[in-house]
């Protein structure tokens, strides 16, 4: 396995699909951890463990007083189903990934375009970050955010993330909306992507924080 660290001063240079005319986006930077050449199914788990350790170091040294949260929404197949109503979000996840160490917010039933979704958010301990990355890898309507706010697990915060952070039609994550609403307010958005034998964890952050991150990359080069 090969791992590379990358830094791009302007997020619009890194993600060309962003609206290049929105000048506010140029206030955000990207720090990414890239893993290549996974030889087997355990390769991505090894990479996720590496990302966990990297984040623990960064948020213990360069970026302090942040907490990690994972947001997740699941489309409801049958709102009258007792099993689905019992499992909602976290019991459904727990069948594959043990989230017992997460501090979980309320599980809400929300409507969007005549469709219904179970939605929730959880605070993730640093030693469970690899589990959060596994969730992001398996569920497209999930993402991580680092915040210094104490109100992230409130119903209001969860609803706000649902209605402002997901595309209204596809129900996929609207990263541009997240960057503008949360990234510009000193919260840090994490974007995960994987294909075949490679994966990337990108951290989108306000440029106020970037000098410390650049120094970190230089120390690893």
**pLDDT tens digit string along 169-197?**
788 899 999 999 999 998 999 999 988 88
| pLDDT score for 169 | 78
For every residue of the chain, DSSP letters joined together read -EEEEEEES-HHHH-TTS-TT-GGGGGEEEEEEEEE---STHHHHHHHHHHHHHHHHHHHHTS-S-EEEEEEEEE-S-TT-HHHHHHTTHHHHHTTS--TTSEE---EEEEETTEEEEEEEEEE-GGGHHHHHHHHHH-TTEEEEEE--S-TTSHHHHHHHHHHHB-TTT--B-HHHHHHHTGGGT-EEEEEEEETTEEEEEEEEEGGGHHHHHHHHHHH-
Query: Does pLDDT of 211 surpass 80?
Result: no
41 pLDDT more than 80: no
pTM of the model as a whole: 0.93
| Domain housing 82 | 2-220
Residue range 127-168, pLDDT digits in tens: 999 999 999 999 988 999 999 999 999 999 999 999 999 887
Total count of domains within the chain: 1
pLDDT averaged over the chain?
Answer: 91
Asked if pLDDT for residue 43 goes beyond 70, the answer is yes
């Amino acid at each position: 396995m090969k791992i590379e660290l990358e830094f791009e001063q302007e997020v619009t240079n890194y993600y060309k699909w962003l609206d290049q005319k929105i000048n506010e986006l140029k206030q955000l930077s990207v720090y990414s951890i890239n893993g290549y050449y996974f030889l087997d199914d355990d390769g991505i788990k090894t990479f996720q463990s590496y990302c966990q350790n990297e984040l623990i170091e960064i948020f213990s040294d360069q970026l302090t007083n942040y907490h990690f949260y994972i947001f997740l929404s699941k489309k409801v197949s049958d709102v009258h189903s007792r099993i689905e109503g019992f499992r909602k979000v976290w019991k459904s996840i727990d069948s594959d990934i043990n989230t017992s160490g997460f501090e979980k917010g309320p599980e809400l039933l929300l409507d969007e375009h005549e469709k219904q979704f179970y939605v929730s958010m959880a605070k993730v301990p640093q030693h469970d970050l690899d589990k959060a990355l596994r969730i992001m890898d398996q569920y497209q309507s999930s993402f991580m955010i680092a915040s210094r706010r104490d109100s992230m697990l409130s119903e209001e915060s969860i609803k706000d993330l649902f209605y402002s952070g997901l595309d209204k039609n596809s129900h996929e994550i609207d990263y541009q909306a997240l960057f503008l609403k949360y990234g510009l307010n000193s919260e840090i958005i994490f974007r995960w992507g994987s294909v075949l034998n490679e994966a990337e964890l990108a951290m989108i952050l306000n440029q106020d924080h970037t000098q410390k991150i650049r120094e970190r990359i230089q120390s690893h080069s």
